[in-house]
Amino acid sequence: MDARTELGEFLTTRRARITPEQVGLPVYDAGKRRVPGLRRQEVATLAGLSVDYYTQLERGKAAGVSESVLAAVARVLRLDEAERSHVADLHRGIATNPARPRRRRPATVRPMLQRLLDAFTAPAFVRNGRQDLVAANALGYAFYAPLYPDPAQPDTSRPVNFVRFCFLDPAAPEFYPDWDAMADNAVNLLRTDAGRDPYDRGITDLVGELSVRSEEFRVRWAEHNVRLHHTGTKRFHHPVVGELEVGYETMPLPADPGLVLTMYGPEPGSRSADALALLASWSADRAGSGATA
């Protein structure tokens, strides 16, 4: 992946979704317009830029561009918080521009972080920017047992990948009752993380693999959508305990750049709370019988 190309394609897709009417421009030649959204000239005029300057920006030539210029373009294109952050990330990537993609060292968690995970009574896990499940507590591994080749005895020493499971594993639509929404979220989060480090070799390799093997992924990736993933609700169908609806909270780990902690919690007294308690009992029984947690 290249930050210059990514920025240009991202701005082009955002421009295509804004109509002249949305920004208060009169349309006298609707039948002659060759683009679905705003023209480059219209974006440039509304942002107070020359057409040539904005054209160079869409071509990824953003080195030295000021934050005020990016803010003006973001205002015209009506970018939300996630999209503004994505533009800023890509802009930093252009300034960095390493000679070749970097291969990160395998992500591991510190012993203190693992002890923190183990102290939670709810499912808790840590993922990296590539969306590998790096570490979890026992209930977290039990929650995501369907992602492993042998759900009855998952090999937790080998991380599984949420995006690969979503698009390549035939069990994913059953595990995710809202598969379309989960697929959108998975791609949008991966795109967001890729923007933070467009030269990460692990993300680049994953995107290449999934683009070849999954048309569903390829179509979504081409849309250049991004999102922030802080809090919300998700639905799952676990093969052991059935339907689960849980709230989630995510937070980056400042001491471990690139790692994100996620915790799940059901509504107290709900059927999902009972199901999660049953899953905890199942996990404890498996651990007691000598199975891998």
Average pLDDT, the chain: 90
| pLDDT tens digits, one per residue of 169-221 | 999 999 999 999 999 999 999 999 999 888 888 999 999 999 999 999 999 99
CB-CB neighbours of 225 under 10 Å: 19
Q: Which H/E stretch holds residue 83?
A: helix 81-96
Total number of domains in the chain: 2
Range of the domain at 260: 111-288
Instruction: Report if residue 106 sits inside a domain.
Output: no
Residue 21 is predicted with a pLDDT of 86
Q: Is residue 290's pLDDT more than 70?
A: no
Please give the Cα distance from 153 to 137 (Å, whole number).
15
Residues 88 and 116 in one domain: no
Of 38, 64, 96, which residue is a domain's last? 96
* Closest to 224 (Cα-Cα) out of 191, 200, 199, 194: 191
| pLDDT tens digits, one per residue of 77-132 | 999 999 999 999 999 888 776 555 555 554 679 999 999 999 999 999 999 999 99
Q: Is residue 263's pLDDT more than 50?
A: yes
Cα dist from 76 to 51, 144, 193, 206, 259, whole Å = 14, 42, 24, 33, 33
Q: Which H/E stretch holds residue 261?
A: strand 260-265
Write the DSSP symbol of residue 18.
Answer: -
φ and ψ at 129, to 5 degrees?
Answer: -65, -25
Residues 217 and 123 in one domain: yes
Residues 276 and 159 in one domain: yes
Instruction: Report if residue 105 sits inside a domain.
Output: no
Quick check: 130 and 202 in contact, CB under 8 A? yes
Residue 29 is predicted with a pLDDT of 66
Tell me how far the alpha carbon of residue 86 is from its chain's centroid. Answer: 11
Whether the model clears a pTM of 0.85, i.e. scores above it, the answer is yes
Please give the Cα distance from 178 to 235 (Å, whole number).
7
Residues 282 and 205 in one domain: yes
CATH number at residue 84: 1.10.260.40
Instruction: Report if residue 102 sits inside a domain.
Output: no
Q: Is residue 62's pLDDT more than 50?
A: yes
- Our CA angle for 88, 90, 92, nearest 5°, is 70
Mean pLDDT of all residues in 266-271:
96
